[in-house]
Structure 1
Amino acid sequence: MASTDTKNEPNDTVSNTLPETAESAHSDQPEITLSESSAYAEAAVENAETKPNLIVLRQKLASAKRILSRRLLKSFHGDRTTRLYHVWPGNNVFFCGGRLVCGPDPRGLVLTTMAIAMSSWSFAAYVANDVVSFGYAPKIIGSLILTFIVVVNLGMVSTTDPGIISRNDQMLVESATERGVEGDEERVKYCGICNIYGPPRSRHCDVCDNCVEKFDHHCPWIGQCIGLRNYRLYISFLFIGLAFFAYIFAFSFQTIRHRMSQNNVVLIDLLRNCPETLALASFTFAAALLLGLLTCYNLYLVALNQTAYENCHQYYASSQNPYDKGFLSNFMEVFYWSTPPSKVDFRGEVNIYDQV
């Protein structure tokens, strides 16, 4: 008997999760007999059981998490409504009643804040009082101003909604979210985890578990996604951070040179006489070098109107970037155009108990 080649069709669960998969199936399937059809069905069921789809598994876990959170809220709250940020399915952490949106892991943010604070304190304690040039007060005032600006900027970029897109969830009512799909129908992207069709440049962040509009990357040192709404703040943080560490390194290096020329000591003697100044100069030099490279790289991306995700994955290596509007327009889009409002009202009220 001549054997007939058949192609496995997607199972019902996957086709419901990713509708475009069913559309890509071939329509010219060869005819098969009844016995071959039953054998094919058994093999398909066995294959589906042995190789579960990762997206389906993640969706089931997310659904179980949402149902459990609703039941817990129902047992602790007497009313039938709550704020959206209380039941948001992502991994974000909210402060000030949902006004501040942070990432799930604060360790990088804490380390960055400590590095800035310790550098400023070490500068005031061991470098600024050295009689080299300028006075003590002007150097301290300059360092305090830069410290204040960089800390405020860091707080803003780490607590601003990066452009989170609302999920297609029954518990999220229309009064609390905006569900509009931007762009042409053939250009939108489907996310099987959030179950939405998002804008073309949106991506799902595995750390925050959200789809972010114009996703650039998830920065572990800030603890937040970098996207459409906080990219400008991220660029300004790089500039201010570079100025802060370069300022401290300049005076630290000047102090080291002064002591070496005055006392005719070598570098090894500085480890015994002023190890704090040497350590501060080494750390601030490394930090300024890293921030300088990041600043140049991001200015290059701004000039091309690309995100770091698109550039790393070589999205436009073989085709023209459709978002490139020219050098001047690309810079104006990032630094001059107004920031769009948030697509999700995390303070909006939602009814959660009818959906349990």
Structure 2
Amino acid sequence: MFTMLFLITLIIHCRPGPCFLNSFNFPHHSPIRSLLRPSKKRTGKPTKQPRNTRIKNSTMDAADEEEEEEQAGHHQEQRHYRQSHRIQGRSTTEQPDDSDNSAASARWCGLMRRAFASLIPAAFLLGDQLPSPPTRVHHVWPGKNVFFLDGRVICGPDPRGLILTIISVVLSEWIFVTDIVDPSSKHPVLISAISVTLAAAVIATLLLTATRDPGITPRNQASPSPEAGAGASTTAGGRIRSRRVVINGVVTKLKYCRICRSFRPPRSSHCAVCDNCVDRFDHHCPWISQCIGQRNYRFYLLLVTLALAFYAYTLAFSARRIRGRLDAASAGVFSLMRALPETFALAAFSFLAVCFLACLLTFHAFLVAINQTSHDLYRDRYSNSPNPYNKGSLNNIKECLLVRLPPARVDFRALVEEPSG
């Protein structure tokens, strides 16, 4: 930002007229002061010299004349410098250090020439480089997630499913407003407003679910020892496989993740798409391009509910419009399909979406009631043992929807400690 401001200021002040460097209080004897003075057009008349420095040798060549003129101008600047210090009440007996002034002036001249020649950044003009940004956890995280806003937004590695879902919602809403809503019907503005509100709520919930940390667990830098923890089982080569713990009176096996180099928390699993262990892992949703876990599961349920309401609303008004046109016209269904292709396409798509979302919402409502995940049900984990997390339907619903979410287990914005030595 500082470099951009400097370049803009430099461009503005580099137009014809006084140079912006005149605002600096350079010494009168400095070469920069002579460089900043506007150049005068050389005329054919010789410059009048002081009496004590008048040239006596009339055969001097042109080079000697120019050197004598520069010396005379330097003497004149010295006299002007002494007069200015005498007016300010300073002593004229003090002489500046010519070696220090010449070295400083040379450095300034070199910097000014490079600045005007190549427009170097302001940091180099000031002699200091801007510090590099600090390294945070999301910069070196080994998973496949994509981070935005300096680690505040976490997305899946493949955004195509998310983009396709957003396009389908926006396109459905556009067809609904332009083709389905009849301006001559009752309350067309209200019908459109409800549809737009539902579509906006679906997209907002979709983005909230897709950009939230699903419950990623931290990784270990080194593998634990084979005898780490009580009840740990190992392979023939001495590698840890699992460990048994007791949860609510039920013995539960915790598996060891070789990628994360740690024991997985209860009900967690390693996602092969995102390459992370996720707490209370349910599934990886391809339509959202994100894992569904403990910290975004309730937003996923809200998304499914809102999407079902949106497409049911769209399907109802699409069917109403088709039925009205069939009653008004004597043509058949196929003729009406050729006359209203957008309406029939939206009705068919909405019907499929309603069927899919209704089945999906019913399935997850069942999982919430028994306090299981899709991954638990798919693995059939509690077929031979009781579910230690089942506390009854009401308590299960309360735990899933009303209990405060735990904080993120990985702070992706935390600074990475530099290795010592």
TM-score normalised by the chain length of structure 2: 0.61
1:343 equivalent in structure 2: 409
Paired residue total: 268
State the Cα distance separating 1:187 from its structure 2 match.
4.2
Q: Which residue of 2 aligns with 1:154?
A: 206
CA contact (8 A) 1:187 1:199 kept: no
Residue 78 of structure 1 and its aligned partner are, at CA, apart by: 6.8
1:94 corresponds in structure 2 to: 147
Per-residue CA shift, 1:298-349, capped at 9, x if unaligned? 0000011010011112112222211111000000011110111100000000
Which digits, 9 at most, give the CA deviation of each residue in 1:186-221, with x for residues without a partner?
Answer: 743311111011211110000000000000000000
Q: 2-side partners of 1:98 and 1:134: how far apart?
A: 48
Q: Deviations over 1:93-150 (max 9, x none)?
A: 011110111100000000000000000001011001354x532201110011101111
| Distance verdict in 2 for CA 1:81–1:138, change over 3 Å | closer
Q: How does 1:207-218 map to 2 (within 5 A)?
A: 207-218=273-284
Match status 1:333 vs 2:386: no
2:163 aligned residue (93, 97, 110): 110
**Structure-to-structure mapping, 1:297-308, within 5 angstroms:** 297-308=363-374
CA distance change for structure 1 residues 276 and 293 in 2, over 3 Å: closer, same or farther? same
Assess, with a 3 A threshold, how the Cα gap between structure 1 residues 188 and 318 changes in structure 2: closer, same or farther. closer
Gap regions ≥5 residues in structure 2: 1-129, 223-242
**Among 189, 194, 197, which residue is 1:145 paired with?**
197
Match of 1:263 in 2: 329
> Structure 2 CA distance, aligned partners of 1:162 and 1:206?
15
Structure 1 counterpart of 2:46: none
Structure 2 residue matching 1:165: 3-state secondary structure:
coil
Q: Retained in 2: the 8 A contact 1:215–1:228?
A: yes
Alignment correspondent of 1:190: 256
* C-alpha displacement of 1:163: 0.2
Runs of 4+ residues over 3 Å off in structure 1: 77-81, 183-188, 352-355
Corresponding position of 1:246: 312
Match of 2:339 in 1: 273
Structure 2 residue 360 is the aligned partner of structure 1 residue 294: yes
1:159 Cα offset (Å): 0.4
For residue 416 of structure 2, what is the amino acid of its counterpart?
V
* Aligned with residue 378 of structure 2, among 291, 294, 312: 312
Determine the structure 2 residue equivalent to 1:125: 178
**CA deviation after TM superposition for structure 1 residue 351, in Å:** 2.8
Give CA deviations for 1:196-251 in whole Å, capped at 9, x if unaligned: 11211110000000000000000000000000000000000000000011111100
Distance 1:141 1:112 in 2: 21
SS in 2 for 1:225: strand
Q: CA deviation at 1:269?
A: 1.1
Matched letter for residue 346 of structure 1: F
Determine the C-alpha separation between the residues in 1 that align with 2:291 and 2:336: 41
For each residue in 1:60-107, what CA deviation from the matched residue of structure 2 results, as whole angstroms up to 9, or x when unmatched?
Answer: xxxxxxxxxxxxxxxxx9759501111110000011110111100000
2:389 to 307, 317, 323: 323
Relative CO higher for 1 or 2, CA cutoff 8 Å, sep ≥ 6? 1
- Which residue identity does 1:285 align to in structure 2? F
2:220 is aligned, of 165, 168, 177, to 168
The 2-side partners of 1:296 and 1:134 are apart by 34
Change (3 A) 1:349 1:251: same
Query: Which whole-Å deviations, capped at 9, do the CAs of 1:17-62 have from their partners, x for residues lacking one?
Result: xxxxxxxxxxxxxxxxxxxxxxxxxxxxxxxxxxxxxxxxxxxxxx
Secondary structure, aligned partner of 2:277: strand
Structure 1: how far apart are the matches of 2:420 and 2:174?
A: 54
The residue that corresponds to 1:32 in the other structure is: none
TM superposition shift of 1:265:
2.5
CA RMSD of aligned residues (A): 2.2
Structure 1 distance, partners of 2:183, 2:137, is 54
- Alpha-carbon distance in 1 for matches of 2:339, 2:132: 66
Within 1, Cα distance between the matches of 2:314 and 2:211?
27
Mapped partners of 1:107, 1:241: distance in 2: 19
Q: Distance in 1 between matches of 2:209 and 2:386?
A: 31
SS at match of 1:188: strand
| Matches of 1:184 and 1:318, distance apart in 2 | 16
Cα 1:194–1:113 shift into 2, 3 Å: same
